[in-house]
Amino acid sequence: MHPKLPPLPVRIVVALVVVATIVYFAIGRNTSDDGNLKASGTIESVTVNVSPELAGKVADVLVEEGQAVTKGDPLLSLDGSLLNAQRVVASAQSDSAKSALNTATAAYATAQGQYDAAVSTALAAERTSRTSVWAESKPGEYDLPSWYFAKEERIAAAQAEVDSSLVKLEAAFQKVDESQKGAGLSFLELESNLAQARIAYQNVKAAYDKTSGATDGQDLRDAAQTLLDDTELALEEAQTAYDDALSTDAAQDVLEARANWVIAQEIYNTAVDNLRALQTGLDSPAVMTAENSLNQAKVAMEQAEAAVKTAEANLALIDTQIAKLTIYAPMDGIILTRNVEPGEFIQPGAVAVTMANLDSLTITVYVPEDQYGNISLGQSATVTVDSFPNETFTAEVVHIADQAEFTPRNVQTVEGRSATVYAVKLKVTDAEGKLKIGMPADVEFR
């Protein structure tokens, strides 16, 4: 059975007494004997968790707990064997890229010289032929004088004729291919046999003619004569078989298609010759070829330059990572905790060392709402601690909360609202470094 609870009014009175007791001890005595406001708190300072940016095995820890350090002092270092090996490779790649750039730069300079020489030669040749068209006789097929069209117009017309004749040449070749397929395999074989028989006869005839000057070479000449007779007979037989095959319509189509193809080829060649004759000076094929070579050399040099930049960037990245193997103190302060030992593997962001700046100590106290108006920014105060009972330290108010809070926070009664407090932060002066983080302290406002 549950114990019998006292009447409700009695329970309310007991609760109020408990709350009042909690608030009194949480805030401390509000005033000193001489009437000054007092409050209690704990000595604090800005703490920094020092973590590595890279993962790795701890090579050495250079500080101990409680040791004073200044900003920039090394705290610990990570093993750098892997990054050092990568740097050797990256350095070799950088040297190789620079060597390739030197080669590409030299090739570009050579191409530039060749281009300049080609331009000079072409312009010199153009000077002698620039007005030669004026002396050309005008054909009777057209009325305009030969000099009427500018050089660029004549080149454009010649290029158009080259393009047109090339299309016709390709069409003629296609016609030859179609006619040969229509003639059948037998005709093509007879034609091929005739071509081989002609070559064979010409070779044997040349050998036979060389025997006429041989001394005591009748036997040699007789052997050549026999071979010549045989190849001549084979040629006659191949010619007869071919002539017989020419009687078909398909064979005539082949001959006609080939004749058209040969003529189309010659027209195309003539058009190309005419175009090249007009392409003088900067339009000459030699200059264009030299210009293409120069452009290719320039692209190769730019690619080599990009490769050097990439290799140098990779090397700089590794150097940056190597520099991060040693972790340095971000500020002046004291080492509070040391969380790693040599040989341990640590991840990025893991707290290796915690440090604090004891030259910037603070204390936060809470004052009742009815005393809020007695506190102002810059107001001075004295601080005492149990460790130094006969000493006082000076402090200055640096921050006053603009919102109140409950102590305890769950008090919702009218009487409990009298326990609302404001947080006040003070900066403590401790020139001799006697105060330590976490010390309980009492503050008396002046």
Tokens representing residue 393 in the block: 């330290």
DSSP code of 37?
B
Name the band, by pLDDT with cuts 50, 70 and 90, for residue 139: low
Bridge-based pairing of strands 326-328 and 74-78 is antiparallel
Q: Estimate the crossing angle of helix 185-210 against helix 151-183, to 10 degrees.
A: 100
Name the band, by pLDDT with cuts 50, 70 and 90, for residue 30: low
Amino acid (1-letter code) at residue 208: Y
**Mean pLDDT for the chain overall:** 82
| Residue range 105-130, pLDDT digits in tens | 999 999 999 988 888 887 777 666 65
| Whole-angstrom distance, CA of residue 275 vs CA of residue 288 | 14
Q: Estimate the crossing angle of helix 218-245 against helix 185-210, to 10 degrees.
A: 160
Name the band, by pLDDT with cuts 50, 70 and 90, for residue 140: low
Q: What is the pLDDT of residue 31?
A: 60
Amino acid (1-letter code) at residue 25: F
Q: What is the pLDDT of residue 399?
A: 94
Q: Considering only 184-193, 236-245, 366-375, which range has the smallest mean pLDDT?
A: 184-193
Residues 6 or more apart whose Cβ sits within 8 Å of residue 55:
345, 346, 347, 348
| Whole-angstrom distance, CA of residue 266 vs CA of residue 260 | 10
Name the band, by pLDDT with cuts 50, 70 and 90, for residue 188: confident
Q: What is the pLDDT of residue 411?
A: 42
DSSP code of 3?
P
Q: What is the pLDDT of residue 277?
A: 66
Tokens representing residue 202 in the block: 């010409």
DSSP code of 87?
H
User: Which has more confidence, 26 or 89?
Assistant: 89
Q: What is the mean pLDDT of residues 37-57?
A: 93
Q: What is the pLDDT of residue 2?
A: 43
DSSP code of 69?
E
Tokens representing residue 316 in the block: 């700089």
| Residue range 269-326, pLDDT digits in tens | 888 877 766 666 666 777 788 889 999 999 999 999 999 999 999 999 999 999 999 9
Name the band, by pLDDT with cuts 50, 70 and 90, for residue 152: confident
Domains along the chain with CATH numbers: 8-77+331-445 (2.40.30.170), 131-137+144-279 (1.10.287)
- pLDDT of 21 > 90? The answer is no
| Residue range 220-274, pLDDT digits in tens | 888 889 999 999 999 999 998 888 777 777 777 777 888 888 888 988 888 887 7
Q: What is the pLDDT of residue 83?
A: 95
Please answer whether residues 46 and 330 qualify as being in contact, where contact means their C-beta atoms are separated by less than 8 angstroms.
no
